[in-house]
Amino acid sequence: MLVLVVITALAFDFTNGFHDTGNAMATSIATKALGPRVAVAISGVLNFVGAFLSLAVAATIANGLVDTGKVTLTVVAAGLAGGIIWNLVTWLFGIPSSSSHALIGGVIGSTFAAAGGSAVLWHGLVSKVVLPAVLSPIIAALVAASGTWLLYRITRSLTSAARSHGFRIGQIGSACLVSLAHGTNDAQKTMGVITLALIVNGTVAEGSNAPIWVIVCCALAISIGTYLGGWRVIRTLGKGLVEIESPQGMAAESASAAVILLSSSFGYSLSTTHVATGSIIGTGLGKRGAEVRWNVAGRMATAWVFTLPSAALVGAGAFGIAHGVGGTVGVVVDLILLAALSAVIYWRSRGSKVDHNNVNAEWTGGAPTPEPAETAAA
């Protein structure tokens, strides 16, 4: 049973990396500072390194969200299934929703279904997840807007070609930092969940840090996922929101990296997705004459609001199924359903393929992304 949970958790970590490459690398790919393939490779390696950097977020997830005394392994597995399904659905539609909220929503949903509202630590949920989720994109946008304004102001006497040449070099550095930051925050979440499972199983004591093998496995899973790349999300972030020039790219990435790294070290499990999006919008606001596509931004915000409750519902449903069947078999049934659904989503994604070849194609409305209404319904 524990093995199954760990495998599911690593699968989630994989989809997490897959989903979130865009946060770090979208802007660099959009401004052509890095080739798409090189970008995802670097990002994968740095996610691996970042995963070792800080353990504060893992501790929040493992001990700060649900009452570890009332959670069972079935609950954790069902929560993970909720998170993965939501991640895959939003990936299909190219919406950069938060993997973190998908995971947290899933776990909370299944905990709620299993043990009722008293097993959820609401205070921890609001103060360490919900509030940071609301505040972090605003802070990131503020930092990115200030940065963008400063960069254009300081280098205004340079030719635009020289300027973009210089900042493309800078962007490589800042994009690397975002990948590192992503590792410190997102890889931690899966570590937190596996640690939670280990605590529940009695393998490690309550209040423990993640054991070393957990850190290594999570770091590997997220970097492989990152390397395979979520081209759909990269496209939405890099081309859909604002047309980005390299100084803006660097400003956005620096802002994201700074906000994520700082929050990680405080143990806030914020969404790297929300931060990256906030930063990109901020660079649009900080440059005179730049246009922010608010309809795309609005669509994302809608998906964000839906993420936590939707993943919670899926998590609760998955628990219902697993509990109804009972025991290890129940969890296996859940996993089979999960695998089948993943296969369907993968098959559907073949229809409108986004890969390293067409990731930077001109933005023409929503295509190849289907309408948001379907996402909300999904």
Q: Which residues bind another protein (CB under 8 A)?
A: 53-56, 123, 126-127, 131, 135, 139-140, 142-144, 146-147, 150-151, 154-167, 170, 173-174, 177, 180, 184, 205-209, 247, 250-251, 254-259, 261-266, 268
The amino acid that residue 83 corresponds to is G
Lookup: tokens for 291: 């246009």
HSE of 240, CA atoms in CB hemisphere, 13 A = 26
When the beta carbons of 18 and 48 are compared against another protein, the nearer one is 48
Judged by DSSP in three states, 367 sits in strand
Least Å distance, CB 150 to another protein, is 4
HSE of 111, CA atoms in CB hemisphere, 13 A = 25
Least Å distance, CB 373 to another protein, is 34
Least Å distance, CB 266 to another protein, is 5
When the beta carbons of 130 and 305 are compared against another protein, the nearer one is 130
When the beta carbons of 205 and 377 are compared against another protein, the nearer one is 205
When the beta carbons of 157 and 364 are compared against another protein, the nearer one is 157
Instruction: Determine the longest span between alpha carbons in the chain, in angstroms.
Output: 70
When the beta carbons of 254 and 310 are compared against another protein, the nearer one is 254
Three-state DSSP string of 277-328: HHHHHHHHHHCCCCCCCHHHHHHHHHHHHHHHHHHHHHHHHHHHHHHHHCHH
When the beta carbons of 248 and 310 are compared against another protein, the nearer one is 248
Least Å distance, CB 14 to another protein, is 23
Q: Is the peptide bond before 368 cis (omega within 30 degrees of 0)?
A: yes
When the beta carbons of 152 and 363 are compared against another protein, the nearer one is 152
DSSP character string of 87-98: HHHHHHTT----
When the beta carbons of 122 and 346 are compared against another protein, the nearer one is 122
Give CA–CA dist 355/352, Å, rounded.
10
Report the Cα 95 to chain-centroid distance in Å: 11
Lookup: tokens for 75: 């609950």
Least Å distance, CB 172 to another protein, is 12
Least Å distance, CB 175 to another protein, is 12
Give CA–CA dist 319/74, Å, rounded.
7
- Do residues 375 and 93 touch, judged by C-beta distance below 8 A? yes
Least Å distance, CB 361 to another protein, is 25
Residue of 322, 326, 337 whose CA lies nearest to 75? 322
Sign of CA dihedral 303, 196, 181, 125: positive
Least Å distance, CB 286 to another protein, is 9
